[in-house]
Structure 1
C-alpha cells in the first residue's frame, strides 16, 4: 500500500485528535469535566457574568454552545450525552465566573476589531466583551446616502443632529445623559424603520420591548440586562400606570433590583437606553412631575408625503450602508462626549416638550385659568373649594380630574411657584391657602 502526503497528513491529524481526547478522558473512557473545560476554553475563551456566558462576540447563545459541546463528546459519551452536556456547561460557568465586569466607556467592539475613543483609534484585536456589533469598521466607507435621504424626508433638518447624537449615545454602555428618545407622528411616516436599522447595526445588543410592560410586568426589566438599547416601535397611547421603572432605567448609575421568574431577585446593572416610536406622546396616570418630562427628548417627524411611493427594499439598501451609518453615528457620539453628554436640541424640540408638559398636566392649566381663580395677597381659599373649582374646570374642558390626594399634594408642592402660603386656619379651622381665591360663580354644581 502506497501512502500519499494527504494520507500522512490525515493520519497525523487523527493522532493529534487522539492525544487531545486523552487530555479529558480518563483510563476508563469517562469524561473528566475539569480537563474538558480547560481544553475547551483554550480554543473558545468564555466568561460567565450573572449566569450568562460571553465570548469574543458578546453574549453566547447557550443552545448553540450546548450543540458545540455535544459534537465534541458524542463519540466518547456512550449515553446520557444531554445530561453530560448540560453538566459541562454548568462547569464552564463555574470555571469562568466573574463577579463584576467594568463598564467599558472608552471602546466599541466591532465585527473586525475594537474601536477606541481615545488616541488608539481602531485595532484589529478582539477581546472578551458584553456587546459586539455585527458591522465592520471601515474608515473609508462611503457616506450612507440612502440613510441620509431617508432622514431628510422624515425629520426637520435641525432635528437630525439630535438623532445622530442619540444613536451615537447608544454605541457605548452609558446612562450619563439620562435621556430617552421618543419620535412621534400621525402614522405611516416610516419612523419605526430607524429601529430596524439600529437592530441590524447593533445586533443582539438591541431588545425589542414595550415600554408599558416595564411598568406592568416586574420581570420585563430582566430582559434588558447587558443590552444597549430597548426599542419600542409601537408606543401605546394609554397612560403609564407608574413611571418608577422607566425613570430608574433612564437614570441608572448603580445596580438595581432585577427579578426573574422562579428565581430570587438580584442586584444587576442596567445601562440600556430607551428609543420609542409612536403616534402619541408618553404620558403617565399619576406623574406629571418635571422629573418625568425632563428625561424625554421628543422629536416630531414630518407628515407623510401623500405622493410618496414606498420602497419595499429600503431596509435592505440601508443595511448595505451599515459601515457608513456607523461612522455617522460615531460622529454624533464624539460630538455628544465633547459637549459633556448634553444633546443638541432645536428650539422646535424644546417647544415640543413644553407643549406636551402643559398638555399632560391639567393641574397647571387649571391654575392658569383666570375664570376660576384670582391671585391676590388678601386672597384665601379652602382646599375643598379649590378642588371643587378644579373638578368643575375638568368637566367643562373634557379633562379627567386627578384624585383629591394628588390635587392636595400638587398644591402643597407648587405653593411657592404660585405665590401661595399653606394655612390650617382658612375661614376659621379649615385647611387651605392664602394668596388665592375661588371666584364665587365657579363652585361645582
Structure 2
C-alpha cells in the first residue's frame, strides 16, 4: 500500500466516527474508560468502512479493486486513528488491545469476490447482462486486467489463428465454451470439469496459454501442476494461493499419473471446499477453487477411468503441427491488441454454455473422445470399444439393449487378450470395471448379464450353466485345470485346461493335435506319460501360424486391403462399362486375387475360362 492510498483509507475510516460521540469519549477522566470508549467508535467506523477480510487477511477498497493489507499496515492504521482522535499521551500503551479487538471485528466482514464481475482499466463489466458500471466498493473483486473493454471489438486475427490450429469448428466451440466457463460463478452452477489441451509438437497450445494469461491478468491465473494440488506437503499453500483466481492453467509436458489420487482429483475438479493455509497464516476453507486447464503432450494415466470421472474430462485436440517456417514466436504479443475482442468471443461461449443448460454444445463429440481415452486406460474398456459393445445406444435412444451373460462376455474378452498379447483381468475385476464404467447389469436366470448396445453380435450364445455342465461332463476336474508358472514360463495341463484358458472348444483343440499342428507345444508326464503339459507361449505361436488369433492391427490391415482391392475393382469395372468392354474383374475362387474374365460368359463357361488360365 502506498502512502497516498494509506492516507485516503485513514481519512475514510476517521470521517465515519461521529464527532459528538468522540468529544464525549475524550472527556472521560479515567484512561481505561476513555480508551474503551474510543475503541468502540473506531470499531464501529471499521464496520461501516470498506475494510473487510479475505482468506484471513484484511482488505480495503482502493478506488478500483480490493487490495490486501499486511498485519503491520493494519496495526499502524489503528494506531494512527487513535492519534487522529487526539487521545492524550499515555493512552497509546493500550493500542495492542485495540488492534486485537478491531481484528476480531473484520473477521465478521468476509469478502466474497463476484465471479460474474470483471474489472477492466476503464470500467466494470457485469458478465451476466453485459452492462458496464463505474468503479464502486459494492463490486467485490481483488484484481483487474490492464486493458480497456469495448463491447463492439471483434478478434479477426484470433479467428484466423484458430482456423489454422483447430480447423474443426466443433473443437473451436469446445475451447470457447471451456474458457467461457471461467466467467461462471460456481455457486450458480455445478461445474465439474477439467480441460486438457492435448497435442504433441508445435501446435498452438502455448499461444492459447499466453493469451488466456493476458486476457485474465497475470495475477489472476495460477500455474500449479495438477499433482501439486492433490498431494504433497505444499498442497494447502498452493490451494490457498489459487483460491479466488479465474483459472489454474498449467503446462505439463510429462505424463501425469492420477491412478492413486482419483478421489482428490475428483474433489479438485468439482471445486469442493478444501482446507488451505496462507504462508504464516491460519488454516481456512477455500470455497472459490478455480476451474483447471492443462496443456499436455500425453493424457494423464488413470488406473480405471470410471463413468463419473470420465464426465469431468474435456479433451481439446490440437492435431495440426505448425511447420518451422510458419512458426511465430511473438504471436501471443500480436493478440494483445485484440484482448477486448477475444474477451467478447469468450463471453459468447459463456452465453452458449448457459443457454445449453450449463452443458457443452458438442457433448457427443466429447463423449466419443473420452470413450477412446477410457479404452486406453485398461484392457477391459479397450476390448469393449474394439468390439463396439456400447453402454448406451448413440444412434437410436429408444431401442432395447441386448443382455449378454457375463461369463460369455468374459470368455470373449480373454480370447481377445490372448490374440493381442494383453494380460487379462480376472472375472471379478472385469465385472467391477464394467459396472464403474456405466454398463447396466442385472441378475437373470443364467446369472449376471450386461446391457450392450450398438454393433454387438455375439455368436453361439450358450448359458452359463450349459457351458459349465458340458465341460464338467468332459472332465470332472475341469475347475482344477488352471495355468501355473515354472521358471518364468506358463503351463497348463490337459486339453481341458488348454480349452478353458483359450476359451475355445475341446473338439477344436483335439483336431489341431490330430493334424499335428501342436507338435512341439507340449510334453508328457505322469503315469504312462498320460498327462499332456502345454507350454502356453508355444501354443500361442502355433495359433498365430494357423492364423487362428490375430492382433487388432493385423485385422485392421486385412480389412484395409480388402476395401482397397474392392474399390479398385469397382473403379475398373465402371471404366470398362463406360467403354463397353466385354470383360469384368472378379474375385478368384482360389485366393483373394482378382482375375479378368469375359463378361458375356455364363457361369459354366466362366469356369472353363478360369481353367484355361490355370486358375482353378
For residue 305 of structure 1, give the secondary structure of its aligned residue in structure 2: coil
Q: Would the aligned equivalents of 1:388 and 1:443 in 2 still touch at CA under 8 Å?
A: no
Judge which range, 308-317 or 197-206, deviates more. 308-317
Cα 1:214–1:289 change in 2 (3 A) is: same
Matching of residues 31-110 of structure 1 within 5 Å: 45-56=50-61, 60-63=67-70, 66=72, 93-98=103-108, 104=114, 107-110=117-120
Structure 2: 5+ residue stretches without partners: 1-10, 85-94, 388-401, 450-463, 473-477, 480-499, 510-533, 538-616
In 2: Cα distance, 1:294 partner to 1:280 partner: 19
Q: Would the aligned equivalents of 1:51 and 1:93 in 2 still touch at CA under 8 Å?
A: no
In 2: Cα distance, 1:129 partner to 1:386 partner: 60
Alignment counterpart, residue 354 of structure 1, candidates 353, 360, 371: 371
Alignment counterpart, residue 134 of structure 1, candidates 113, 121, 145: 145
Asked which structure has the greater CA Rg, the reply is 2
> Is 1:439 aligned with 2:503?
yes
In 2: Cα distance, 1:55 partner to 1:128 partner: 12
In 2: Cα distance, 1:69 partner to 1:202 partner: 33
Cα 1:376–1:320 change in 2 (3 A) is: closer
> Aligned-pair distance for 1:300?
0.7
For residue 156 of structure 1, give the secondary structure of its aligned residue in structure 2: coil
Query: Per-residue CA shift, 1:214-273, capped at 9, x if unaligned?
Result: 232352434332223111122531321222222223334xx5241438988654423411
**Partner residue, 2:173:** 161
**Partner residue, 2:381:** 364
For residue 320 of structure 1, give the secondary structure of its aligned residue in structure 2: helix
Matching of residues 24-423 of structure 1 within 5 Å: 45-56=50-61, 60-63=67-70, 66=72, 93-98=103-108, 104=114, 107-117=117-127, 121-126=131-136, 127-135=138-146, 138-140=149-151, 142-158=153-169, 159-174=171-186, 176-203=190-217, 204-217=219-232, 218-219=235-236, 220-234=238-252, 236-240=254-258, 241-252=260-271, 256-260=273-277, 267-285=285-303, 287-345=304-362, 349-366=366-383, 380=407, 396-397=421-422, 406-407=429-430, 409-410=432-433, 414=439, 416=441, 421-422=447-448
Normalised by the length of structure 1, the TM-score is 0.70
Cα 1:60–1:376 change in 2 (3 A) is: closer
Q: Would the aligned equivalents of 1:53 and 1:59 in 2 still touch at CA under 8 Å?
A: no
Aligned residues: 408
In 1: Cα distance, 2:227 partner to 2:242 partner: 14
Cα 1:312–1:409 change in 2 (3 A) is: closer
In 2: Cα distance, 1:315 partner to 1:379 partner: 54
In 2: Cα distance, 1:166 partner to 1:69 partner: 43
Normalised by the length of structure 2, the TM-score is 0.53
Cα 1:406–1:350 change in 2 (3 A) is: closer
- RMSD over aligned CA atoms reads 5.1
Structure 1: 5+ residue stretches without partners: 1-15, 78-83, 431-435
Q: Would the aligned equivalents of 2:195 and 2:293 in 1 still touch at CA under 8 Å?
A: yes
> Aligned-pair distance for 1:366?
3.8
Q: Would the aligned equivalents of 1:257 and 1:265 in 2 still touch at CA under 8 Å?
A: no
